[in-house]
Structures are given as C-alpha cells and as structure tokens.
C-alpha cells in the first residue's frame, strides 16, 4: 500500500505528515484536491492568511476580474455551471475556490496563520522539516510549493515619497476605508490591474492622474452575462460546458503560434487592438500616447472595454512624462509639471523573478536554493522539480507561467505529475526522487533555446517576464498541449531514486 495513504484521523495535531502543501490558491488547493481524489489524506496545508483563496482572496480592488474565460479558468473536475459572466470577477472566483475547499473537505487540512519560511532536507531520513512563523514546524516526505509569484507588491522608490502627506497604497492592498469620492488621485502604472480599477474609480474621484510608463496592448473584452438557459444547459448537460471549455482551450492555445513560434503572427491580434484604440480614442494626441511601439505579447496582452473611455473623461489626465519627484501634496514630472494629489495608488505590479528568494530552502549537501537560483538562475526540470532538492515540487514554478492560456491547465498538469511521482515512490519502494542535474540542464537549455525566438525576448520591450539579467524565467515557451504531453508521464531515468538510511522518526514538536 502507498505509504501516504494513511487515513486522516489525526490531522489536527499531525506534525509528522506525508506531504506539506504551501498555499491555498489555485495551486495549493488543486494539489490538495487531487490528493483527496486519489485517496491520499495524509497531508497538511500551510496558509499564512485566515482563509483559502490566494490571489483571489487578496486582490479586492474595484473591478478586479480574470481576463481568461471562467469556463477554462477553473478546475476541469469541478466545473461551475453558475458563472454569472464569461469573465468572472474576483469575488466570484474566490467563492468558487472556497466552494471547492468545502466540497472536497480541504479545510480540515489547512493550518491558517501559518507562514512558510523555509524547509530543510534530512539526508538520513530523506524527509523535509518545514518551518513556519505562526505554526511551528512539520516534517514531511514531500513538500509542494503552491506559493505563486504575483503576491509581493512592487512599490517604486519615488524620490521624495517620504514627504507625501496623503494616503498611498498598492492595488493588491486596497484601502477600502479610504473613500476616494471627490479626491485628487494619482495612479501609477497601466498594467493588468490598473486598467481594471481605473474605470471604476474615475467616476467617483475629483481628479485622476494616470502615470503611464509604457502603453499596454488592449483588445476588446467580449464579456457578457451568462444567460439562464446557458446555466441550465451546463447543469443538465455538463458535456456542453466541457465542449465550450475545449473549444476555448484550442482558441487560446493557437495564440502560442504568435507568442512562442513566430512573433510576426502577433499582427493577427494587434490589428484588432489598434482598431479598438482608434475606435475608442478619437483624440489623436491621446491616441498617440496610448499606442504601443513594441510587438504585442511582449508584455501581457490586456482586454478592456472601459479603460480607454475612462481616460477620455474630463476629470482624467494621462501623463507619460517620468515622475521626477513627490512633494507633500503633489507629483512633479521630469518635464516640470506639478500635479496636485492627495492619494497615490500603485498599480505597479509584483516582485516576480525574486519572489521566492526570501524562502530558506536547504537541500542535499546543505545546498541553498535561493543562493543557487540567485547566482545561476532559477533552473528546474519541467518547472516542477529541482536537482539537489528531493521530493520538493513547485506548482507554477519557473517557466511555467502563461500569457496566452489558462494557468489552471498548467497547475492541473503539475499536480497530476506530483501524484505520478508519489506513486513511483511507492511502486519502486523508495523514499525520495531527486532529478538528475543532467536532465535539468537539458530541460533548461531546451526552453531557453525556444525562448530566444519568443515574443517576450524579441518583442522590443522590458517586462516582468524577464529577470534583471534579461533571462526569461517566467513563461512556458510553447503550446499548453505540449506541456500536458511532457508531464503526462514521469521519466524515472531522469531521476535518482533514494532510499532512507534511517527509518522515519515521528516528530512531536509543538507549535
Ligand atoms: P504589471 O502588469 O506588472 O503592471 C505594472 C505597471 O506599473 C506597468 O504599467 C509598469 O510600467 C508600471 N510601473 C512599474 N513600475 C513603475 C515605475 N517605477 N514607474 C512608473 N510605472 C511603473 O502589474 P499588474 O497590473 O498588477 O499585473 C501583474 C500581473 O498580475 C499581470 O501581468 C497578470 O499576470 C496578473 N493579473 C492578472 C489579471 C487577470 O485578469 N488574470 C488581473 C490583474 C493582474 P512598465 O510597463 O513600463 O513596466
């Protein structure tokens, strides 16, 4: 019998467990659900907040929504016939995740208020000791990190910001207690988050100054409410929803032809985006400021019907000069223009390439993961395993993000892959698997050869897809179906199989 198939009677005080999962966003919950569905109950999930939901719990800014259709931005095994719109809002997605946690009995495995700080691998027992702030430590056979990379706000150090006497906050830490009605608001950034909240606040504020560094490519958003008959059809004949999901998957995945294979094909998408801009922004001066000069796809492609019209409002100004200085009640640009503001909202995105560097993960021979990734780049095998760190699995790890399709598909592929690895441990009667460095290097070379041709690298822009050295450690350079195929089986020759020298000793430490 699989050693991980112990029943979950004692999970409430189980500090010696089969698997520790970190995070309860789509990744962490997806892993937990897959374990449950496979009859594996011996796991603990660490969550630093007080509820499940990850980014969809944390991002509460007005207008927050997903720009991937909900039929596809959801688990294949937990389709929701009741999505209210084609593109659900953040609250509805969060409710969906909470519903999944309840449906599959995940909450009883979650330690809320437990912030993962690092993990240490014991080469005698081949087990991990996982450290937290708030919940002590746990020992586990395997660790699955579903921590994501879009959660540490990136806040620019603007000269003079310490003198500013108004309120300032980041889009992911929205201050709902700060009423924006009638205020003089500055928004910095015009990325995926800003283009969603700018239209929502533009009507309420007294004045809105939007500071844009680089114009995004924006396509029309073909959003609408789902009709009653559609929802009924999905409920009565679930196959119809599945069919739409598959069709949408294929349409989205075809876009990899432009993103990853031949960026010249991005013209097929940039033409309707240019038409959208022309149609929504008749003022040639404003339109010129909003016209991107890089190839579409180099930065995330956005969808919106109300961002451009919001910028054309009489109380809204788009500023493209760099910010030179912040004063007590104003922002001054490099051109010398002073804009009076009492609130600054940062729509400036997240720390991505260094998002995992605060974690202290020590593998075989005392190897420090952060140190290795910092000095040699975040190298992995399939974005999931890392040589020298046995039984440590990443979900949405390096080079498995997407700009053209739903990341939930990647997460599902990865959680299935983890299950296959765990099954291989049991089948081969070993305790750990460690990917061989030769296999990892081969994978690294392969994807970076592909990335060199991708739009993110040749599109003529600078984006958070690239690390400070200009290396793309973020996106998967191909079709999603290729990744599904690659992860469909575990090539055990690529792994070293390890057997513990010392048997498992149950840990009994308190919180
Ligand atoms: P983002 O896409 O990284 O955009 C940040 C914006 O801030 C950019 O316009 C950037 O300009 C600007 N900026 C950054 N530093 C600046 C500085 N020092 N001075 C002036 N401008 C500065 O961040 P985000 O909008 O929060 O979105 C992050 C990611 O979250 C997205 O790409 C997406 O993957 C995800 N997201 C997804 C959805 C969804 O619907 N699925 C919704 C929201 C967010 P530059 O372009 O010049 O760097």
Residue closest via CA to ligand 1's atom 37 equals: 192
Ligand 1 centroid to Cα of residue 240, in Å, is: 35
Q: Report the atom number in ligand 1 closest to the C-alpha of 87.
A: 40
Q: Is 401 in the pocket of ligand 1 (CB under 6 A)?
A: no
Q: Report the atom number in ligand 1 closest to the C-alpha of 150.
A: 30
Best substitution site from 215, 297, 348 to test ligand 1's pocket, by max atoms within 8 Å of Cβ? 348
Q: Is 292 in the pocket of ligand 1 (CB under 6 A)?
A: no
CATH number of 14-152+352-437+474-498, picked from 3.30.160.160, 3.30.750.24, 3.30.70.920, 3.50.50.60: 3.50.50.60
Q: Is 327 in the pocket of ligand 1 (CB under 6 A)?
A: no
Domain ranges for the chain = 14-152+352-437+474-498, 161-217+270-346
How far apart, in whole angstroms, are the C-alpha atoms of residue 319 and residue 317?
6
Q: Give per-10-residue mean pLDDT for the chain (511 aa).
A: 40 80 98 98 97 96 97 98 98 98 97 96 97 95 92 94 98 98 98 98 98 98 97 98 98 96 95 98 97 97 98 98 98 98 97 82 97 92 98 97 96 98 97 98 97 94 90 95 98 97 53 28
Is 45 strand, coil or helix? strand
Ligand 1 centroid to Cα of residue 395, in Å, is: 22
Q: Is 214 in the pocket of ligand 1 (CB under 6 A)?
A: yes
As to burial, measured by CB atoms within 10 angstroms (0-12 exposed, 13-18 middle, 19+ buried), residue 410 is: buried
Best substitution site from 72, 192, 302 to test ligand 1's pocket, by max atoms within 8 Å of Cβ? 192
pLDDT at 8: 42
Strand blocks (E) in 96-150: 110-112, 115-122, 127-133, 137-145
At 481, phi and psi to the nearest 5? -60, -30
| Pairing mode of beta strands 127-133, 115-122 | antiparallel
Query: Structure tokens of 386?
Result: 């890392």
Model pLDDT for residues 327-366, shown as the tens digit of each residue = 999 999 999 999 999 999 999 999 887 777 788 999 999 9
CATH no., domain 161-217+270-346? 3.50.50.60
Residue closest via CA to ligand 1's atom 24 equals: 349
Say if 14-152+352-437+474-498 and 161-217+270-346 have the same CATH topology. Answer: yes
Name the β-bridge partners of 138. 130
Model pLDDT for residues 292-306, shown as the tens digit of each residue = 999 999 999 999 999
pLDDT at 46: 97
Residue closest via CA to ligand 1's atom 35 equals: 192
pLDDT at 335: 97
User: What letters, b where the CB count within 10 A reaches 16 and e where it falls short, cover 231-265?
Assistant: bebbeeeeeebeebbeebbeebbebbebbbbebeb
């Amino acid at each position: 019998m699989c050693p991980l198939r112990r029943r979950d009677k004692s999970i409430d005080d189980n500090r010696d467990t089969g698997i520790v999962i970190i995070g309860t966003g789509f990744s962490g919950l997806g892993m937990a659900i897959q374990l449950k569905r496979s009859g594996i109950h011996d796991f603990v999930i660490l969550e630093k907040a007080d509820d499940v939901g990850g980014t969809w719990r944390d991002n509460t800014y007005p207008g927050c929504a997903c720009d991937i259709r909900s039929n596809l931005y959801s688990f294949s095994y937990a389709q929701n016939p009741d999505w209210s719109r084609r593109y659900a809002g953040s609250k509805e997605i969060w409710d969906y995740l909470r519903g999944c946690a309840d449906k599959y009995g995940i909450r009883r495995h979650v330690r809320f208020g437990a912030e993962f700080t690092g993990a240490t691998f014991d080469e005698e027992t081949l087990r991990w000791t996982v450290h937290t702030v708030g919940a002590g430590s746990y020992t586990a056979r395997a660790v699955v990190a579903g921590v994501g990379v879009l959660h540490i706000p990136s806040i620019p150090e603007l000269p003079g910001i310490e003198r500013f006497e108004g309120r300032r906050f980041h889009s992911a830490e929205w201050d709902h207690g700060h009423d924006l009605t009638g205020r003089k608001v500055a928004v910095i950034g015009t990325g995926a988050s800003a283009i969603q909240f700018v239209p929502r606040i533009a009507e309420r504020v007294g004045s809105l100054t939007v500071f844009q560094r680089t114009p995004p490519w924006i396509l029309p958003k073909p959003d609408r409410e789902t009709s009653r008959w559609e929802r009924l059809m999905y409920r009565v004949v679930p196959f119809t929803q599945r069919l739409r999901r598959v069709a949408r998957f294929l349409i989205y995945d075809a876009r990899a032809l432009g993103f990853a294979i031949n960026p010249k094909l991005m013209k097929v998408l940039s033409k309707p985006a240019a038409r959208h801009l022309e149609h929504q922004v008749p003022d040639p001066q404003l339109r010129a400021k909003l016209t991107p000069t890089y190839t579409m796809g180099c930065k995330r492609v956005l969808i919106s019907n109300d961002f451009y019209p919001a910028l054309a409002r009489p109380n809204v100004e788009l500023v493209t000069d760099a910010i030179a200085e912040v004063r007590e009640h104003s922002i001054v640009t490099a051109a010398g223009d002073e804009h009076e503001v009492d609130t600054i909202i940062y729509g400036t995105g997240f720390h991505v390439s260094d998002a995992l560097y605060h974690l202290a993960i020590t593998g075989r021979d005392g190897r420090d993961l952060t140190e290795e990734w910092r000095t040699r780049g975040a190298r992995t095998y399939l974005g999931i395993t890392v040589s020298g760190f046995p039984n440590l699995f990443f979900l949405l790890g390096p080079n498995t993000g997407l700009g053209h399709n739903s990341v939930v598909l990647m997460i599902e592929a990865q959680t299935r892959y983890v299950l296959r690895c765990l099954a291989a441990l049991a089948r081969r009667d070993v305790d750990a698997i460690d990917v061989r460095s030769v296999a990892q290097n081969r994978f690294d070379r392969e994807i970076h050869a592909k990335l060199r041709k991708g739009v993110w690298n040749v599109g003529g822009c600078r984006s958070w897809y690239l690390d400070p050295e200009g290396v793309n450690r973020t996106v998967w350079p191909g079709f999603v179906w290729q990744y599904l195929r690659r992860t469909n089986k575990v090539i055990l020759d690529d792994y070293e199989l390890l057997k513990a020298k010392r048997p498992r000793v149950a840990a009994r430490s308190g919180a």
